[in-house]
Structure 1
Amino acid sequence: MSSDIVSQGFQTSYTTSNTIDSADTKGLKLSSQSALFNAALAENGHDVNLTMKSFDEVVKNKSLANFLQNNYAAQNNENLFSSLKSLENVEQLNSGLNDFAGKDLFGRMAFEDLTMLRELNFDMKQKMSGNDNEYFSFNGSTAPFAFDGDSGSNNRWAMTGHKDGKRSYAFGFAFSDLNSNDGSSHNNRNEKMFQASLPLGYQTNGFNLTSAPQIGYSYGNYNRKGFDNSDYKGTVSKQIFGLLNEARYPLQFGGWTVAPSAEFNVVNYRLKGSETDYQPFALRLKSQNNYSVETGFGLYAGNNLQLAKDSSLKLNGGVAMYHEFANPYALTLGMNEMDGSFTVRDEKRTDNRAVVRTGFEFTQGKLSLLGNLMSYIDSEYRTNATLDLKYNF
């Protein structure tokens, strides 16, 4: 049955009169051209009843299904529901709703931001583990394959530190320019992120303990392809507060340092945003707090090869497993001309993930060239390759 029959209004059932002109309708099967409706022959054998399914039956995102169900009952935004009724199968419906909800853009936003925060913390801990009692280091790096599609980031950070016996103190500041693109040019964003960290270290009973309070702020804009192929532009700002803790127990094996590690990290991720142009399906990124609470266990190894008087080569690698106790990847959104809110989440993120790292640092005098390959493994596999230049004053 044509979806035009149900396109207007907010009824949950529609009837077409005298549609079937046949004396024998036994075994007749009817189908609906709308994914939201079932078609059935009426008792008189001539009329057809079209009965609406619940959104929960056909929409994969249950939070979005509830949002749509409530707004249909409240008779909000007839144009939207008329468009949804015209979609013939469940796959088309959910694909259209993914665009409607901004899933491909907003779903991965927290992952990208938290990854940048975690990698800065890891880089600074690596610098603190060196042998210098006093240091000031400036780094510049590029990570062209960090995220999805054609995405990448450029990072610059400086760190100064001091070691006093078993204690160490450091301060680091970083600026990151993130360009995220889904590879199809449908969704992209550019953000500038500023981060500061105050790592504190202590050695006791063979353990190297590090605790790093960390803060970050970012502001940026995005473009996305929304429902019905419409273009939307928006802005978003974020504040990130973290306390990242690690304990390592280094052991020596034939010139290699091998260190089991344990981590406990807590991050508060606050954000808000909105789409700049008033359009019927424009989204509002509601002001919200998300948290990441994770533990991790790893094993790292490194070797420092002295090549000449003022040149050396460091080799390092390791693997760590993490378990997430909170839900940092879910974002809550609202929409113009609609009541309530719904949640989108990156379905590729799971509670458990692994990070595998390999890298080198070649130093000539005060200048160092670093290369790192980091693989993130949860329900998908992705690789982040970085190349850094570092100058030690």
Structure 2
Amino acid sequence: MTDTTWVEGAAGSLFDLDNLPYGVFSRPGEQPRVGVRIGEHVLDLAPVAELASAEGQSAASGLAAAWRNPTLNAFMALGPEEWRAAREWIMEVLGNDVHVARTTLHLHPLTDVELHLPVEVGDYVDFYASEHHASNVGRMFRPDQEPLLPNWKHLPVGYHGRSGTVVVSGTDVVRPMGQRKAPTEERPAYGPSQRLDIEAELGFVVGVGSAMGERVATADFAQHTFGVVGLNDWSARDIQAWEYVPLGPFLGKSFATSISAWVTPMAALDAAWTELPGQDDPEVLDYLHVHGPAGLDIEVEVVLDGEVVTRPPYRTMYWSPAQMLAHTTVNGASIRTGDLWGSGTISGPERDQRGSLLELSWGGKEPFTVAGRERTFLEDGDEVTLRYTAPGTSGGRIALGEVTGRILPAH
């Protein structure tokens, strides 16, 4: 097996053999099914696996049926040993030119396919795991108090979102309607959100579930987590500000959450693990302890109407994905194949590392400039793209799937 691919244009790219994200695609007149991205192509996995299975290649047996499905769920439910075997087999197929003749027929340019939501999402939970983001929000809205609330460094704070409005990258987002009330107003008003925002996040996808009453330890993260998606938690800040006391976000978040069409397997991020910021003051409780590197060195770019406006670094996150998963299940709540949890807004310590427009404009009081014009929150017609890169296992860099959405007027 080589460490690069024979696929034209893919060798040395951000989507070489050390990446291989999974997605769901279709061609005109065909049913959606699972593929893997290599360069600017997608490999139709099921027919290639069927060829290999007919030749007695055990690594491919049983995989074709899972890959004929219109979501990744059946494949993810097979578990980490099958994920590992599948990845090794795909690397062999795309890395050894002995497979060129029979594989090329099933290799399609991305420009010729439609990409679909890759996962049938079960439950969706969104966290609040960046100390910089939480501190910025605290300073904006509670200027006379400590920025962080008393529980924040003891547990990963989260809210339960709406899985039915998780959409694939490229889906337009309609400006939400709802109640909003400024502090200076006597009564709430109903209408389109005036403070529509983004949240640059990572999403983690559950592959193998757990039984109700069981707990997933931080050390078992890899046994349950299939991969990572880019995630934009669109947020109507004015609706959110009026509704969130005392139970937290609801309509200000539930109208749309965008994820990438590609799910990067955790194995592709083996070189991206890094140490967490210190968690010794206060020391976390035992069930949240992690051993070894538990953070991820992933760079994010937020592009608004074609211009990069901020670059949040995921390595600065306080809470790790393993801790978020452990906390989700510590009360005995079960997880299921396809469950999704978001990291919360990724923000670093610098102004140009803030992962939301709320922070970037400091609540609308400090406009930033895009294309020579001052901006605060999203306007109709705006297009936002989140881009992600990480160290690859071959020494270069890999890209996670982009997340793009365009704002349409309320109706």
Larger radius of gyration: 1
Fold match by TM threshold 0.5: no
Higher-RCO chain (CA-CA 8 Å, sequence separation at least 6): 2
More helix by share: 2
TM-score of the two chains, using structure 2 as the length reference? 0.24
More strand by share: 1
TM-score of the two chains, using structure 1 as the length reference? 0.25
